Structures are given as C-alpha cells and as structure tokens.
Structure 1
C-alpha cells in the first residue's frame, strides 16, 4: 500500500468536504421544512391535502434519486418557458439543482418519519395542555412538536446519514464534492481502489460525527436519561 499516495489523496479529497457538507445541510434543512408541511397535510383530515401529500410521497419515494437529479438538471432546461422564467437563474446552476433534488427526495421520506413522531405523542398530554387553557398553536409548539421530535429523532438520523451519502450522486452533474473529486483523481492516476478507500473513509468519518451529534441531541431531549443511575433503578413509589 502506497502510504504517501493515500496521504496526498486524503489532502485532495478533504478540500471537497465543505461542499459535501453544504449540500447535505441545505438539503436536510430545506427538506425538513417541506417534510413537516407534508406530514401536517397527511394529518389534517382534509382529503385533497392528504391525497396531494400521498401522491408526492409515492412519486419521490418510488423513483430513484439519480433519475430525479437528471430530470431536474437536464429535463427542466428543455422547456423554453422554464428558461425564460424567473427561476432559470437557479435551475441553470448544478449546485441548486442538486440541492432541490436532494431536498425533494429527503422530504418524501422525512414526512413519514415526522408523521410517525406526531402520531406517537400521547393524546392525554395534549388534552391536559388544552385543559390548562393553551391554544392549539401553543400546544403544538410546546407539547406536540418537542415530543414528536424526540420520538422521530432516531429514525430521522438514518435519513440524515442517507443524505450525506446521497450527495455523492451530485457528481454526475459536474459538482466537485468528495466523489466528484475522487472520480477526477481516478481519471488522472488510474488508482481507483486507493482513491475510493480514502473517499469511503471520509464519508465514514462524517457520518460518525453526525451520529454523535444526534446521540447528544437525543440525550438532551430525554430528561429521564439524565437522571442518576440510582434514581433510574429505584421504583417510582420508593423514589417519592
């Protein structure tokens, strides 16, 4: 194994990590906002909104992300109306096309995760909050949403990890993130194994750090986990 080459490869690929993180963060944040809207549509009880959200989720979960990227980047530019619209300055940029595709894709999966978290909130706590005089908006902001986030966080962390890995597909539309730089390096050196080993290690390190942050967030949002072990082991009656 050529250690100097691996080190040089690492230095080359690490320069593309900020773009990879920027892609993933943009898609996750924008996708979370869209996913929340879709989840609320599913739970609204309004049939047209429910079916619209169902159709969206069905389409974007049922088609490959690579196809979605191609359709957005190459497909929309085929329409003159799109090229002449106010959105063309965004859609002609491969970075924003990748962000849009990743956002739309992750929103379809995240919507079902968030919906599951909302449904897992105990109804008794919502009724107790309403009995205290809280408005619907206040109940949602202070009771429903925090509990739903805590319930959905373990599943949502898997989707965030998937998004970090999915950024590698952006390389097919000329974005030079980690995989794009790796492909360029392979075309110059013809040493695919070593280059992809380093690229895989970088993705692994990013996702390891991400999982640690999620674990910390889950710990902070779970007060019962922060109790001393002696109190957790004592039955509730004895603790009182």
Structure 2
C-alpha cells in the first residue's frame, strides 16, 4: 500500500471538504424551512394548499434526485423569463443549482418526517395545555413543536446522513466537492481504489460526527424522561445454618 500517495490524496480531498460542507448546510437549512411550510400546508384546512403539498411531496419523493438536479441545472436556462429575472445571476451558478435541487428534494422527505412527528403528539397533552390557558402560539412553541421534533429526530437523522451522501451528485453539475475532486484525481492517476477509499473515509468521518451530534441533541431533548438512578437494594443478612 502506497502510504505517501494515500496521505497526499487525503490532503487534496480535504481541501474540497469546505465545499461539501457548504453544500450540505445550505441545502439542509433551506430544505428545513421549506419542509415547515409544507407541513403547515399539509395539516391545514385549505384544500388547495393540502393538494399542493401532497403533489410536491409525491413528485420530489417519487423522482430521482439526479434527474431533479439536471432539470434545475440545465432546464431553468431554457426559459427566457428565468434568464431575464433577478434570480438568474444566482441560479446560473452550478453551486446554487446544486443547493436548490438538494433542498427541494430533502424538503419533501423532511415534511413527511415532521408530519409523522406531529401525529405522535398525544391529544391529552394538547388538551391539558389548553386547559391551563395556553394560547395557540405558546402551545406550539412549548408543547407541540418540542414533542413532535423529538419523535421525528431519529428519522430526520437518517435524512441528514442521506443528504451528506447526496452532495456527491453535485460533481455531475461541475461543482468541485469531495467526489468531484476524487474523480479528477482518478483521471490523472488511474488509481481508482485508493482515491475512492480516501473519499469514503472522509464521508464516513463526517457522518459519524453528525450522528454523534444528533444523538447528543436527542439525549438533551429526552433528559426529562430519564429519572434518577434507582438506589441499590440493601443486602439482606444471610441466616446462619443451625445445628444439624
């Protein structure tokens, strides 16, 4: 095994890690905000908004992310209205197109995850909060949102891991993140195994750190459910054997 080559490859790939992190955090943040809007429409009383949310979730969960990214990157420029709009200087950049496509896709999955978390909230807890006079906004902030997010967090952590891995598709629209740099190194060195092994180690380390942070957050949100450690039972005296 060529250790110097592996170390050099790791150093080169780590130089592209900030781009991968920027892709991930930008898309996951935008997708989170879009998912909140979709959940609001999905559980609301307006039929049109409910239908729009259902259609959005069906389309973005039912079609491949790669096709969605190609449609955003290559398709938006086909419309003259889009090229003449004020958003075109941003959307003509590959990085912005990758963030937009990743965010639109994860919003569909995240919305369903959050909706399942809302359904896990007990009606009794809501009724108890209303009985003590909580208003609508206070009820959502103090009762509904924390409980729903706690129930949705395990499934959402899986979506976070999938989003980290999905950033690799941005290399197909000329974004030089970790996978894109790895592909360029392979074209120069023809050492596929070593380069992709180094890239896989970077993604594994990144996902490990993120999962540990999510686990820490889950423990903090569930701290009230863990009672104090039960004291040990006192040892009982063992009776001495009597004379035979």
Deviation at 1:45, TM superposition (A): 2.6
Deviation at 1:36, TM superposition (A): 1.2
1:221 maps to 2:218: no
Distance in 1 between residues matched to 2:224 and 2:127, nearest whole Å: 22
- The 1:14/1:225 distance shift into structure 2, 3 A limit, reads farther
Instruction: Name the structure 2 match of 1:51.
Output: 51
Instruction: Name the structure 1 match of 2:184.
Output: 184
Higher helix share: 1
- The 1:193/1:225 distance shift into structure 2, 3 A limit, reads farther
Distance in 2 between residues matched to 1:29 and 1:178, nearest whole Å: 20
- The 1:218/1:139 distance shift into structure 2, 3 A limit, reads same
Instruction: Name the structure 1 match of 2:239.
Output: none
Deviation at 1:224, TM superposition (A): 3.8
- Indicate conservation of the 8 Å contact 1:40/1:115, yes or no: no
Deviation readout 1:95-120 (Å, 9 max, x if unpaired) = 11000000000000000000000110
Gaps of 5+ in 1: 235-240
Distance in 2 between residues matched to 1:59 and 1:218, nearest whole Å: 31
Report 1:52-71 matches (<5 A): 52-71=52-71
- The 1:47/1:203 distance shift into structure 2, 3 A limit, reads same
Deviation at 1:191, TM superposition (A): 0.5
| TM-score (structure 1 length as normaliser) | 0.94
3-state DSSP class of the match of 1:86?
Answer: coil
Deviation at 1:225, TM superposition (A): 5.0
Taking only aligned residues, the RMSD between alpha carbons, in angstroms, comes to 1.4
Report 1:200-219 matches (<5 A): 200-219=200-219
Deviation at 1:228, TM superposition (A): 3.0
3-state DSSP class of the match of 1:121?
Answer: coil
Distance in 2 between residues matched to 1:92 and 1:224, nearest whole Å: 48
Instruction: Name the structure 2 match of 1:21.
Output: 21
Instruction: Name the structure 1 match of 2:112.
Output: 112
3-state DSSP class of the match of 1:100?
Answer: helix
Instruction: Name the structure 2 match of 1:103.
Output: 103
Distance in 1 between residues matched to 2:227 and 2:97, nearest whole Å: 46
Report 1:15-164 matches (<5 A): 15-164=15-164
Deviation at 1:46, TM superposition (A): 1.9
3-state DSSP class of the match of 2:121?
Answer: coil
Deviation at 1:227, TM superposition (A): 3.2
| TM-score (structure 2 length as normaliser) | 0.93
Deviation at 1:176, TM superposition (A): 0.5
Deviation at 1:226, TM superposition (A): 4.4
- Indicate conservation of the 8 Å contact 1:94/1:173, yes or no: yes
Deviation at 1:229, TM superposition (A): 2.9
- Indicate conservation of the 8 Å contact 1:219/1:226, yes or no: no
